[in-house]
Amino acid sequence: MRIFAILFSILMLSLSFGCAGQVDKITANLGQEVELKIGQTVSIEEEQIKVKFIEVVNDSRCAKGAICIWQGEVTCVLDITYLNSTYQKTIIQPGLTQEPIIDVFKGYMLTFNVQPYPELGKDIKTSEYRLQLVIDKNPMLEDTKWFLRSYGEQGNLKDIIEGTEITATFNSSEGQVGGSAGCNIYGGRYQIIGSTLSISEIYFTEMACMSPEGVMEQEQEFLSMLSNAQSFQADDTTLTIFCSVGQQLYFTTATR
């Protein structure tokens, strides 16, 4: 009996050490890169946010060594727990690149890279997938209603026309920007990488406004500059978007 008890204790101890080697929960700081296996969770305790790597639902990335007519993509599912509520989020990384992709969740920026990259003739096992992830705060321009005050060439900005209102709101949960262009309502998609800002797929309604004078020309200039956004600088009350050919848009949070 005594021998059996000793052997049982050794077995339990071995199992304990074996389980300890499989860490399911990782603690990190904002801006710190972590690598998650499927089933693992990273927690940013001071922010009350946890991200769990649930699964890879599709991996159609063009394999190394293959000739493809489409770049393909890898699609992953995350469970994000924030302030005691849990959300499911799908993230997508295109093929033919191993550069990190940025997605957004509420007030946070998720920078991720899915590894390994497919190779011709090699299958990737589920256990081999790794999600390289950085969780950081979103820049201050998001989830705030901005009011355009002036625009044009740097050093020679002109004020918007009296009696018109041009706005921009960057919705972090949807990756969409939209607002009033002075006459028409507009929208589009945006992406942030550091201080770099790109805006694409801009659409707008097609009303014609006759007054105040110049409102339609002003609207066209604004939308043109917005579509050529390159970078930004923001604080709690001001936002400057730097566009191509030395142009910029200057916003504030104040209505006037």
- What is the span of the domain harbouring residue 194? 145-252
Listed residues 137, 156, 187: the one ending a domain: 137
CA atoms within 13 A on the CB side of 3: 0
Pairing of strands 73-82, 156-159: unpaired
Of all residues in the chain, the percent with pLDDT exceeding 70 is 89
Listed residues 121, 137, 153: the one ending a domain: 137
The number of folded domains in the chain is: 2
Residue 222 included in any domain: yes
Residue 6 included in any domain: no
Amino acid at the residue 71: Q
What pLDDT is stored for residue 162 in this prediction?
93
| 115 and 159 together in one domain | no
Q: How far is CA 83 from CA 34, 44, 86, in A?
A: 21, 12, 8
Assign 139 a pLDDT band (cuts: 50, 70, 90): low
| 191 and 126 together in one domain | no
Listed residues 76, 110, 137: the one ending a domain: 137
What pLDDT is stored for residue 17 in this prediction?
43
CATH code for position 167? 2.40.128.270
Assign 84 a pLDDT band (cuts: 50, 70, 90): confident
